[in-house]
Amino acid sequence: MILQNEFVNWFRASSPYIHAHRNKTFVICFGGEAVLAEDFHHHVHDFALLNSLGIRLVLVHGIRPQIDQRLAKLGIESEFHRHLRVTDATALQCVKEAAGLVRVEIEALLSMGLSNSPMAGAKIKVASGNFVTAKPLGVIDGIDYCHTGEVRRIDSAAIHQLLDQDSVVLMSPVGYSPSGEVFNLSAEQVATAVAIALKAEKLVFLTEDECSNPDTGEAIAQMTSEEADVFLLQHNDIADAIGFPLRAAVQACQAGVLRAHLVTRQRYGALLLELFTRDGVGTLVSSTPFEELRAATLNDIGGILELIKPLEQQGILAKRSREKIETEIADYIIIERDGLIIACMALHTNRQCRVGVIACLAVHLGYRGAARGDRLLNFAYRRAWQMDLQALYVLSTQTVHWFVERGFVSAEIDSLPDALKALYNPARNSKLLTKDIDLSRHHDKDI
């Protein structure tokens, strides 16, 4: 029964993401190592699930180890410069063979429909094509890269047409010139160029290693593109397994892709956990902060109501109607985490009396203990200073000590300005606390 309840709770928690991802375009890139792995069919099952949920899916696969294997059989050592393969005529033949074989293998797995498998009834249409126009990389540091190229253009219209027909688009890291030449490309570069051209909502890299801080060994949960850029400058010797996709993620976000994810492929179900849980399991790179404190808007009313409803039912917060919140929405401050409102607070002010009342302070149960309440309170202090208020009041039934620890002191109800006494509900028997704004400025130097 416990396992059943956990599944039900997880499935319900994933529903906002199921709705949010439907009809969105995701580009997923994975290396040739993933294709060779024994558990690759699990990833294919997850791709099929994403497709069944209405996600427009573009898959970009790599072929580096497959090329190396073919060259090794020929007794030829792979040649690299600046971490890029030098593709001579022999290596190009290996590129063609590897790209064709890997593409066919993936198509075969996506075509499975056995009744006793996760692919039963999937009936996935897979489409490939010459969507990438490429040009030669040329000569760098005196090294001729021969048939190694870079992306020149993506035929986004053709890809969109196939996605509109509910096909999964499968792309190999090869490109073609108008004169019919074939070029070996980086899978990360192809995926990035495709995501930018399609204006994809997400670019996902299934990586060989976890993205972690080399100094501490701690996994990195999220970074803005600016933070990731600084990180790469500070750790310019980071392994290619993370360096390549992280640089690609930065480039994509700077070019307009909203979210890029680095998810280690070794973790079972990592792709689903990253896309359908609130905190994910990989590293998120975004052009804007993943978690943002800001003033509330009318579009946030539903999220605020959902956040405070459990606290109202427990009697911790006074009940508020949608209409009341709508009329007072300018007073509300929220913390939003990847589209989910996880904390809120209202600051009702009376400019004539030069006082404010803090109300409706709530933090989602799953996100407590990270000083988010303090962030909201500090925001209220700044707003109070800007409005030249002299004092703040708060009415509380169960969080009195939390406010006392932050410099609030008990006060009598009669000390409330007449204009604010209407806010007091004797039936709740709330405690009244107050804090002088000048004192808050003194005690909160870091604000």
How many whole angstroms separate alpha carbon 108 and alpha carbon 126?
10
Residue 289's alpha-carbon distances to 222, 228, 372, in angstroms, are 9, 12, 15
What per-residue confidence (pLDDT) applies to 447?
A: 31
pLDDT at 416: 78
Q: Compute how many other C-beta atoms are within 10 angstroms of the C-beta atom of residue 438.
A: 11
Helices (H) and strands (E) in the chain, counts: 15, 23
pLDDT exceeds 60 at position 115: no
Give the C-alpha separation, 181 to 137, whole Å. Answer: 13
Residue 438: the pLDDT is: 64
Q: Which amino acid is at 32?
A: G
Provide the percentage of residues in the chain whose pLDDT is more than 90. 62
- Work out the number of other CB atoms within 10 angstroms of the CB of residue 312: 15
Q: What is the pLDDT of residues 312-364, one digit of tens each?
A: 888 888 888 999 999 999 999 999 887 789 999 999 988 888 888 998 999 98
Between strands 391-396 and 355-363, the pairing is parallel
H/E stretch holding 140 reads strand 139-140
Q: Which residues are CB-neighbours of 117 under 8 A, at least 6 positions away? A: 45
Place of tokens 């060259």: 71
- Full DSSP string of 151-211: EEEE-HHHHHHHHHTTEEEEE-SEEE-TTS-EEE--HHHHHHHHHHHHT-SEEEEEESS--
Quickly list DSSP for 94-114: HHHHHHHHHHHHHHHHHT---
Mapping DSSP to helix (H, G, I), strand (E, B) and coil, where does residue 268 land? coil
Which pLDDT score, from 0 to 100, does residue 290 have? Answer: 74
Q: d(Cα 186, Cα 32) in Å, to the nearest integer?
A: 11
pLDDT digits (tens, 9 = 90+) for 399-427: 889 999 999 999 888 777 776 776 677 77
- Per-range mean pLDDT, top range of 75-84, 199-208, 377-386, 417-426: 199-208
pLDDT tens, residue by residue, 231-281: 999 998 899 999 999 999 999 999 999 899 999 999 999 999 999 987 789
Looking at residue 218, what DSSP letter applies?
P
CATH node for 292-443: 3.40.630.30
Cross-strand bridge partners of residue 101 = none
Contact predicate 27/132, CB 8 Å? no
Q: In the beta sheet, which residues pair with residue 408?
A: none
* pTM of this structure: 0.75
- The CATH number corresponding to 9-289 among 3.30.365.10, 3.40.720.10, 3.40.1160.10, 3.40.50.2000 equals 3.40.1160.10
Query: How far is the CA of 116 from the CAs of 60, 63, 106, 112, 274, in angstroms?
Result: 28, 30, 20, 11, 26
Nearest to 331 by CA among 355, 354, 356: 356
Packed helices 89-110 and 40-52: angle between N→C axes, nearest 10 degrees: 60
Domain boundaries, the chain: 9-289, 292-443
User: Can you tell me which residue has the tokens 């066919």?
Assistant: 104
Residue listed under structure tokens 């416990």:
2
Per DSSP, the residues of 356-402 read: EEEEEEEE-GGG-SSSHHHHHHHHHHHHHHHTT--EEEEEESS-HHH
**pLDDT higher than 70, residue 439:** no
pLDDT band at 67 (very low <50, low <70, confident <90, very high): very high
Averaged pLDDT for residues 185-206? 97
Beta strand pairing call for 222-224 and 283-286: parallel
* CA atoms 421, 425, 426, 428: torsion sign: negative
CA 387 to CA 381: how far, in whole Å? 10
- Tens digit of pLDDT for each residue in 20-38? 899 999 999 999 999 999 9
Rounded average pLDDT over 369-395: 88
pLDDT at 98 over 70: yes
Contact 138, 213 (CB under 8 A): no
pLDDT at 103: 96
The CA distance from 142 to 440, in Å, is 64
Distance CA 170, CA 158 (A): 13
Q: How confident is the model at residue 445 (pLDDT cuts 50, 70, 90)?
A: very low
pLDDT at residue 440, as a whole number: 41
Q: What is the pLDDT of residue 442?
A: 41
